[in-house]
Structure 1
Amino acid sequence: MTSYSGRRILLASAGATALCLTAAAGHAQALALNDAAASAVGVEEVTITGTRVVRDGYDAPTPVTVVGEELIRNIAPNNIAEVVNQMPAVIGSTTPNNSQGAISNGAAGVNALNLRGLGTIRTLVLVDGHRSAASLATGEVDINTIPQQLVKRIDIVTGGASADYGSDAVGGVVNFILDNDYTGLKSDLQYGETTYGDNKSYKAAATAGVKFADGRGHVLLSGEFYNGDGVRNNPRPWAAQRYFTVVNPAGDKNGQPYYLSSWGVVPSQLAPGGIITSGPAKGIYFGTGGAYGRLNYGVEANPWMIGGDQVTTCLNSCGTVDLMPAEKRRNGYGRLSFEITPDVELYASASYSWARVRSNNGNNYSNVNNITLSSDNAFLPTEVRAILQQGLAPGAARTFTMGSSNQGMPLYGFDNIRENQRYLIGSQGTIHFGGAWKYDLYGAASRSNVHEEILGNFSLTRMTLAQDAVFVTAANVGQSGLPIGSIACRSTLANPANGCAPLSRIGIAGGAQSAADYQRGLDYVAYDNPYRDERLREYDVGLNVSGSPFDNWAGPVSVAFGAEWRRVSINGFVPSQFQSGWQVGNYLVTAGHYTVAEGYIETVVPVLKGMDATGALRHTDYSTSGGVNTWKLGLNYRPIEDIKFRLTYSHDIRAPNLSELFGAGTARTNRTTIDGVDYYYLQDQSGNPKLKPESANTLGLGVVLSPRFVPGLAASVDYFRIDLDKRIGTIGVNDVLTLCFVQKVSSFCDSIGTNSDPAAPPYTVHVWPINYASTRQEGIDFDVTYHVPLGDRIPGRLTLHGLATHYLRSFSDDGFSPTSDGAGVNLGGLPSWSYRADINYALDAWRVTLTGRGVSAGKVSNEYIECTGNCPVSTLQNRTINDNSIAGAFYVDGSASYDLKIGNVVNQLFFTVRNIFNRRPVIIPLGGANTAVTTSEQVQTNSSLYDVLGRTFRVGLRTSF
């Protein structure tokens, strides 16, 4: 019996020409969209992901990029997500090396895919056409949970597919097709490291498949082990460039730009061992062993400076975020199937995945640039104390503020462990009733246990007590009983039993404080690591049926229909002492659930010879927000064999996820500067159960060319436009403060409360997700494959393949701030061009592939006006800047493999090099008007666009029996 997802092609309603990216397996798939070609290569049934309608030899009206098994082998990825993220339509995905800062929401360390740059929450991930269970409260699927070695093909549907598969498919669908029919034994061993000798990785995988009962039954087992050392801190030469954007300290007067992007920008209010930021001792910084000096500020642009004593403020303290986290994974997958009759097959599968990701996230910035100390602090050098006490009465003390990057304190970071289990049972086959109907009836249960732990975080309350250290004198000894001349917490003198241990904030690693006493102070301010345990559960039951019940005047009419019900829930546990008072995290328990019931019908109707119309309708009922309809219409027209036109228009949705609905929130203290005014606040963020689904309308218009006069050539060009409305988002604290205090929008002032407690921040800012924004995105996809005829004199097979996406516009409108275009913005938007080209040559046992990939140059912002003099007046919407450009990047990868057969054992030796020319990433000018000084810790590039690791080698051995 042919399996439901085996040799057929599951037709896609949103995809690119199904052109495979490889030579050998690619020839069948690349030309499968052409009826004649499909017959020529012996494809029984054409299969592409996108709709649930199945018809032999039919090609989808919308683009699907098909990534074949050989391309996956050529890349030899540590994780299958690496393959998908190299496709031009996939951009801005969450990866371990760009998610270190996503601590509070638990996303640090995951691999979550992002189609069209619309957000990982708007990309639907499927496994064999079934919805994969979420790994996070925000709904994303961690690609680590998919059995890596079993993936034989990846279908990337670049368009709305909610009518076909349900919510979340606004950006599109990524369907991982597993080789569930595999028979035999195969293994995969590989080792990798960078040209710098770091990020060493080890991977081992094995799969076994056995048939029994005369081939009616099949058992499949697969497992994988992976260990990656990561890259501590950022040891690359480019990491010390210090390129930032600051507000022009001279002001935007006399035609000067408002912003300056400049090299050699460092913090002016931080130093590794502390720097006094106000009063008569301003600029005095502290080093090791009680040493101190006075800073040469250069040009101040608070909280930054240009030039000056850069080494002093950044010595071993800027750029301490790990370039790549350390990662461990363990995956296991098992499947059992049995044909009861030639038309009925029962199957059951179970998968287990475990992953641990650990990373340093920089220096611990507890009390960074707002450390308040007194001039009678016991750890102050005598000369500095004298400067601070000038003009005061004898014995009087003056308070002062200090900024420190806390060198010597433990780095803070995260240690996250994710465990996922998924169980699936079902039946698939054929029902003969008015024709042959394919069916798939299944039930699935999954659970994800997530342990999120913060490393190196301190209690701010205890830090305040510990850093207020004084000498014990006869005048203040009180009831403490401490020796005169010793050092104690000021609070201990009044409360001898409070257990406070004094901690020096003066100098690197405590300055002159002894190592033992310094450690005792650290032990006092640090509790056990704050953590949160979360439990996600999902139950899913579904039925899909497809067939061709009758013919009309132009051919067979195909129909698919089905229904699905699922329940999604979350709960967890956080110890009470870890729910507030921390620099990051401040974890709370998110608890809640919702159910979804839906039904759909699709059809493909031949209209004329060479012309088919498609339609789909789905009704979905959410327990939280009620019913909603999604639909899709399409037209496919091939006037001659060489050319095909396709048109689709769909209405899609994304329903709010568990975090958006039920998030108990996070509470964290922070400080920001807006128009020169400092605001110290407590941020209170929570979910909103009243959210409604987002809606999107997607238009696709394309042409597919397979000219007979150029055998082996196939190409497609597809225009797309996505209009997303009622977009769910949270208005940031900086925006709320600006709208209230600067722009005087009273409705936003309602979100700001005041605190009467003098020890608390003066403001509490309440933020929560709302349906408030809209987005329009337009672009063009290009896809070309050419199987080059080499002739009789030149042996082997040569295939050229290219993919490119050109973003024309990416407008966002939140209703209260100026509409912005994110196309061509390489800082945080979408590059104008994203592309990839492969040259693949195969000769007997050898295969060699050369790949070029990259992005075009872009801008910091499309709203900025670049000028160096005679600048126009800078406005809130159109700021002026001296350099608005960000360079593009082009990388070259290579791979080679050789098949060596020994008896019945096929061994494949392979070697890959990524970023052959060791091109460094483009340095991006982070910063801006309200950027926190802790930005100096971050990797100064866009890790989603540019290669940060450098040249990377991988070598391995694949064996099959």
Structure 2
Amino acid sequence: MKKTHYSKLKLGAAPLVLSVALVSAPAYAQDAEEGATGSSEIVVTGTLIRNPNLEQSTPVNVTTADTIELKQSNVAEEVLRELPGVVANIGSAVNNGNSGASYVDLRGLGSIRNIVLLNGNRVAPSDVNGRVDLNNIPLALIERVDALTGAAVTTYGADAITGVVNFVTKRDFAGLEVTASNQITEEGDGHIFRVDATIGANFDDGRGNAVLSIGYQQADPVYQGARPFSNDTLDSYSNQFIGSGTSVPSRFSGTRPLDPVTGQPSTDPTVANGGLRQVNAAGAAVPTFATYNFNPFNIFQTPFERFNIYAQANYEVSDSVEVYTRGMFSKNTVSTIIAPSGSFGGTVTVNLNNPYLPSTLRNQFCAFNVAAAGSGLYTPRFTPAECAAAATATGRTDPNYREVTVTLNRRTPEVGPRISDYQTTFFDYRVGARGGITDTIDWSVEGAYGESENIQTIQNYTLQSRFREAALANNTTTCQSGNANCVPVNLFGPEGSITPEMADYLSENSSTTNRTSLAQVRAIVSGDLGFASPGAVQPIGFALGGEYRKYTAQQASDLLAKTPGELGGAGGAAPDIDGAYDVYEAYAEIVAPLIEDKPFFESLTLEAGVRYSDYSIEGAGGYDTWTWKAGGSWEPGAGVKFRGNYSRAVRAPNIGELFTPQTVGLTNLGIDPCAGAAPTTDANLRAVCIAQGAPAGTIGSITNPTAAQANITVGGNLNLQPEKADTWTIGLVWQPDFLPRFNMSIDYYNIKINDVLGTPLPGDIIAACFDNVTAASASDPACTSIRRNPITGGLDGDPSTTPGLFGLTNNQGRLFTDGIDLLMNYSTDLGFASLDWSFVGNWTNSSKFNANVANPDSLNRECVGYYSVNCSFTGSIQPEFQFSNRFTLGFDKVDLSLLWRWIDRVDFEPQQLQDDIDAAVAAGTSPTTGCPDPTGTDPNGCVVDPQFRSVKAQHYFDLTARFNVSENLVFTATVQNLLDNKPPLLGNTIGSTTYNSGNTYPSTYDALGRRYAVSAKLKF
């Protein structure tokens, strides 16, 4: 068995060794000349102690450069997305909710709970939440990627709760290598082009090495309208086209007529649907409201352009001192494209003599509200005579002049789709020195500084203030405001009624800039103590170190972006954020071989570590924390090794969690308990809805949130405390002597996080109020903290007037997950070819989130194997089982490799389904829409259409052929999704908008279809 030996660390190698992982190193055609033997190799990751004979107690999942090449991955996010145990997070498949970056989520516990490293070192984060953008990782020079679960807290930082992902670059690269690749879907779209050039050389008789790598990548969009399964916006509850209520022609909402005696809504004899109005192109009332199909504009693959430079160098100043440096720079542009902007429930005041206002709609506006008391008789706002006179009023000074205030939902396809261009400029520079104090003790000192600037420029967004001004029109050329630049806008016509001049007036560009930085200094002394325990030969290893880090982050928005409700469809304001904190840390690790080369004790090793962290938060004091780990391994013989590790981890709140002001954004909510007829028959429910700000006149006509998106008030909190986690693993490594080319590891992991820094789920916020609606609930803070639209009574609409749900960041939650990882590798010589097989599998037993542990009624939500709005609390879907199998046949000049990925069956979350059924029944709507039993006797209920209630297991196959054309040229061709497996259909309203898009979950399931990729690598 070969062990990696880092006795002389070169630049690019972590000044540290990584924990035990089993890696298959197959002999492919192009490395036959390099003498690869196909033997297994122990790769060490996860300790500061540089002992070449050390095998650590913590499992690591390793992805090699060869695997990346066979897959033809273009960005680091693609490499990690397909690993079992990694839950898809923000990446190239996310369109609505992507801020121009890609992140990794280990174990489904959130992208903020792991550390991304390059050669064992932190790199500058890219957002206010401290996350590293994977788009900045230079794939061309990556030798392997190590994913370590848990037990990394003393080695890499107290905040490595779920572990670390370490990208390790090639060391001492010499020569020239140029790689160019192209990828395209079978539909002819989604083209991706990438080219990388790397040059390196040794100098001064091998005392030094320098490497420079330059890369460029460009990716085209894939529109959801280009795939039949995603062209129409489907409702997950009815399996019918739903679209968005922000549509063409416009929808107008006002207060439904209210009987002043009974207090109940009376019946408008001329207008259906209570307070919601819409007219067609002819000015006639629309009995069935038109909705807008937004899917065709959205995308499955975000347009992406990247230019990156990576350089590293190291030089041996003397036999005992080496200096090294590395720097990287990237400039990325990510574009997200979504359906056109408009007025998404913003308020406007319309004059009844507006030249564009149809008479039918004018009469309906006049019919809003109650003008006088009566005995149950319908009384309009304005009498027919007042309404007719107002239609011919000459202006505001005319005594017959009248106006009404309503909410406006009008899509503006005349302006074009909403486009957000995110341009990120990133650099990170590190310099250091290392050497030996004695033959067995080394030192290392290094410092680094990095910055990221992300500028979001949004185009084609309309302004609500312009809608308000343009709705008050004197005539077709002037507005009542007297603003000479104002262009009156026809809000009442069909698509096309907004002229280019009107569209130009309504829309403006806007920008938001995010800047982050990380400065760090670290010093380490490591080696061995020079003596061993009585029963061992290997000396006791140790490491002592200290480091300092300072984080800063700012978000600066222009006036349009920071004004609530101003940008139509922006999902809330982008407030200014400015925060910083620094941390001083000291740590120590020890690895002690206790027994070696004894019967049943080929080795018995103990390891432990401790880290002290002192946080200082700008303007808010600070706190200190302790983290530690303890573990060990035992090899009784016969190629068997048992290993285990326990650690206490701590994650301090990041800048976003601390310093973000309260602002209104969007969350997902399919059913509003106040919607429909339920509040008209349930007095307690009615009282609660009114206490939340719903006008009494809206009771009975409140609608569910448009496109299942409700408003939510979110924000940071300077009083937050660190969250605490206990993680442990126990496992077995087996490398049998009778099967020398086989190795296997199986490990159980368990991660529990208390005092979770997070926000309550929308379902939990609703349940806290509505699960026990009583007369007292109208004054319950859990109910009154929810604030409704003051005009429509709903939970969506203008964020300047509708705070919606209340979900500030707190320390009240708990997260838990556990499961098993299985890794196997085998290689053999078949005579006519070599066969190499690798297997990586994960079984997740549980993944739970309790939003409020202190409340005994708070649900401990289980999300393994389930999908729903609430089960998107950290990322996309977490299946119970998943694995990746790769089989490779290596011939003389050709390698054939097949990758088989399997994703287990998943189901709609039972708790969410029951909540939806209860809400539908309470609202007076049938829960059996689209169900096999239309009579409603189905004992299980059926809110969600049956075909959307589960997804069968999915299989994906990738086939690669690699040709060793000559000593210097390698040609690779890959067919991804070989069988063209179509994604499962689930509709657009069953999960979080970020991950449930195009009627599926495109981050989990392949929405692009069969793809072809070719590449050529020239090396000298």
Quote the residue 2:91 is aligned against: 95
Q: Secondary structure at the match of 1:616?
A: strand
Quote the residue 1:914 is aligned against: 976
Q: Is the 8 A contact 2:232 2:295 kept in 1?
A: no
Quote the residue 1:179 is aligned against: 170
**Take 1:773 and 1:101, find their aligned partners in 2: how far apart are those partners?**
27
Quote the residue 1:675 is aligned against: 673
Change beyond 3 A, Cα 1:923–1:771:
same
1:823 matches 2:864: yes
Aligned with residue 855 of structure 1, among 882, 903, 906: 903
**Take 1:555 and 1:5, find their aligned partners in 2: how far apart are those partners?**
31
**Take 1:196 and 1:239, find their aligned partners in 2: how far apart are those partners?**
14
Provide, for residues 769-828 of structure 1, a one-character-per-residue CA deviation record: whole Å limited to 9, x for no partner. Answer: 1111001111111111111342xxx22211111111111111111224311101111443
Once superposed, what is the RMSD of the aligned Cα atoms?
3.6
Q: Is the 8 A contact 1:89 1:158 kept in 2?
A: no
Change beyond 3 A, Cα 1:733–1:718:
closer
**Take 1:755 and 1:80, find their aligned partners in 2: how far apart are those partners?**
43
Q: Secondary structure at the match of 2:79?
A: helix
Q: Residue 183 of structure 1: CA displacement?
A: 0.7
Quote the residue 1:894 is aligned against: 959
Quote the residue 2:61 is aligned against: 65
Q: Residue 682 of structure 1: CA displacement?
A: 7.8
Quote the residue 1:413 is aligned against: 419
Q: Which amino acid aligns with 1:923?
A: L
> Which residues in structure 2 correspond to 1:656-667 (within 5 Å)?
656-667=653-664
Q: Which amino acid aligns with 1:570?
A: A
Q: Residue 857 of structure 1: CA displacement?
A: 0.8
Provide, for residues 186-235 of structure 1, a one-character-per-residue CA deviation record: whole Å limited to 9, x for no partner. Answer: 11111111111111111111011112222212221111011112224531
Q: Is the 8 A contact 1:25 1:69 kept in 2?
A: no
Change beyond 3 A, Cα 1:340–1:448:
same
Gaps of at least 5 residues in structure 1 are 247-261, 298-308, 473-485
Provide, for residues 21-59 of structure 1, a one-character-per-residue CA deviation record: whole Å limited to 9, x for no partner. Answer: 75559999xxx9xxxx99x88x7xx54211222323332
Aligned with residue 313 of structure 1, among 285, 291, 297: 291
Q: Residue 736 of structure 1: CA displacement?
A: 4.8
Quote the residue 2:760 is aligned against: 731
Q: Which amino acid aligns with 1:629?
A: W
**Take 1:125 and 1:159, find their aligned partners in 2: how far apart are those partners?**
13
Quote the residue 2:375 is aligned against: none
**Take 1:8 and 1:372, find their aligned partners in 2: how far apart are those partners?**
64
Matched-pair identity in %: 25
Gaps of at least 5 residues in structure 2 are 1-6, 257-267, 368-382, 392-402, 597-602, 676-688, 695-709, 793-797, 918-930
> Which residues in structure 2 correspond to 1:239-278 (within 5 Å)?
239-240=230-231, 242-246=233-237, 262-267=238-243, 269-274=245-250
> Which residues in structure 2 correspond to 1:628-643 (within 5 Å)?
628-643=625-640
Q: Which amino acid aligns with 2:612?
A: H
Provide, for residues 881-921 of structure 1, a one-character-per-residue CA deviation record: whole Å limited to 9, x for no partner. Answer: 8563223311111111111226xxx1111111111111111
Quote the residue 1:746 is aligned against: 780
> Which residues in structure 2 correspond to 1:445-594 (within 5 Å)?
445-469=449-473, 486-488=475-477, 492-493=479-480, 495-497=481-483, 499-511=485-497, 518-527=499-508, 529-549=509-529, 550-553=531-534, 554-556=536-538, 557-580=540-563, 581-582=566-567, 583-584=569-570, 586-594=573-581
Q: Is the 8 A contact 2:470 2:487 kept in 1?
A: yes
Change beyond 3 A, Cα 1:644–1:937:
closer
Q: Which amino acid aligns with 1:561?
A: L
* The 10-residue stretch of structure 1 (176-185 or 543-552) with the greater mean CA deviation from structure 2: 543-552
Q: Residue 20 of structure 1: CA displacement?
A: 3.4
**Take 2:763 and 2:351, find their aligned partners in 1: how far apart are those partners?**
31
Change beyond 3 A, Cα 1:896–1:507:
farther
1:126 matches 2:117: yes
> Which residues in structure 2 correspond to 1:222-233 (within 5 Å)?
222-233=213-224
Q: Is the 8 A contact 1:97 1:109 kept in 2?
A: no
Provide, for residues 334-375 of structure 1, a one-character-per-residue CA deviation record: whole Å limited to 9, x for no partner. Answer: 223211112211112221111011121223242359777566
Q: Is the 8 A contact 2:525 2:544 kept in 1?
A: yes
Provide, for residues 568-596 of structure 1, a one-character-per-residue CA deviation record: whole Å limited to 9, x for no partner. Answer: 11235333343203342522221121111
Quote the residue 1:438 is aligned against: 442
Change beyond 3 A, Cα 1:737–1:704:
closer
Q: Secondary structure at the match of 1:601?
A: strand
**Take 2:208 and 2:343, find their aligned partners in 1: how far apart are those partners?**
60
**Take 2:349 and 2:408, find their aligned partners in 1: how far apart are those partners?**
6
> Which residues in structure 2 correspond to 1:206-225 (within 5 Å)?
206-225=197-216
Quote the residue 1:250 is aligned against: none
> Which residues in structure 2 correspond to 1:147-166 (within 5 Å)?
147-166=138-157
Q: Which amino acid aligns with 1:839?
A: F
Aligned with residue 813 of structure 1, among 840, 845, 850: 850
Q: Is the 8 A contact 1:371 1:401 kept in 2?
A: yes
Quote the residue 1:621 is aligned against: 614
Change beyond 3 A, Cα 1:372–1:238:
farther
Change beyond 3 A, Cα 1:24–1:292:
farther
Q: Which amino acid aligns with 2:537?
A: G
**Take 1:614 and 1:27, find their aligned partners in 2: how far apart are those partners?**
37
* The 10-residue stretch of structure 1 (440-449 or 881-890) with the greater mean CA deviation from structure 2: 881-890
Quote the residue 2:101 is aligned against: 110
Q: Is the 8 A contact 2:733 2:744 kept in 1?
A: yes
Change beyond 3 A, Cα 1:11–1:215:
closer
Quote the residue 1:426 is aligned against: 432
Quote the residue 1:706 is aligned against: 735
Change beyond 3 A, Cα 1:450–1:317:
closer
Quote the residue 1:947 is aligned against: 1006
Provide, for residues 942-961 of structure 1, a one-character-per-residue CA deviation record: whole Å limited to 9, x for no partner. Answer: 22211111111111110110
Quote the residue 2:129 is aligned against: 138
Aligned with residue 840 of structure 1, among 888, 913, 931: 888
**Take 1:844 and 1:87, find their aligned partners in 2: how far apart are those partners?**
30
**Take 2:966 and 2:196, find their aligned partners in 1: how far apart are those partners?**
20
Q: Which amino acid aligns with 1:836?
A: S
**Take 1:936 and 1:532, find their aligned partners in 2: how far apart are those partners?**
24
Q: Is the 8 A contact 2:158 2:627 kept in 1?
A: no
**Take 1:894 and 1:370, find their aligned partners in 2: how far apart are those partners?**
55
Q: Which amino acid aligns with 1:207?
A: T
> Alignment length, in residue pairs?
874
**Take 1:209 and 1:455, find their aligned partners in 2: how far apart are those partners?**
43
Q: Which amino acid aligns with 1:821?
A: E
1:395 matches 2:429: no
Q: Residue 665 of structure 1: CA displacement?
A: 4.7
Provide, for residues 380-412 of structure 1, a one-character-per-residue CA deviation record: whole Å limited to 9, x for no partner. Answer: 556666787798223356967664443333222
Q: Residue 842 of structure 1: CA displacement?
A: 1.1
Aligned with residue 79 of structure 2, among 67, 78, 83: 83
**Take 1:725 and 1:852, find their aligned partners in 2: how far apart are those partners?**
37
Provide, for residues 831-869 of structure 1, a one-character-per-residue CA deviation record: whole Å limited to 9, x for no partner. Answer: 111211100111122111100113111111042469966
Quote the residue 1:596 is aligned against: 583
Change beyond 3 A, Cα 1:25–1:562:
farther
Change beyond 3 A, Cα 1:738–1:722:
closer
**Take 1:860 and 1:159, find their aligned partners in 2: how far apart are those partners?**
30
**Take 1:669 and 1:946, find their aligned partners in 2: how far apart are those partners?**
24
| TM-score, normalised via structure 1 length | 0.84
| TM-score, normalised via structure 2 length | 0.79
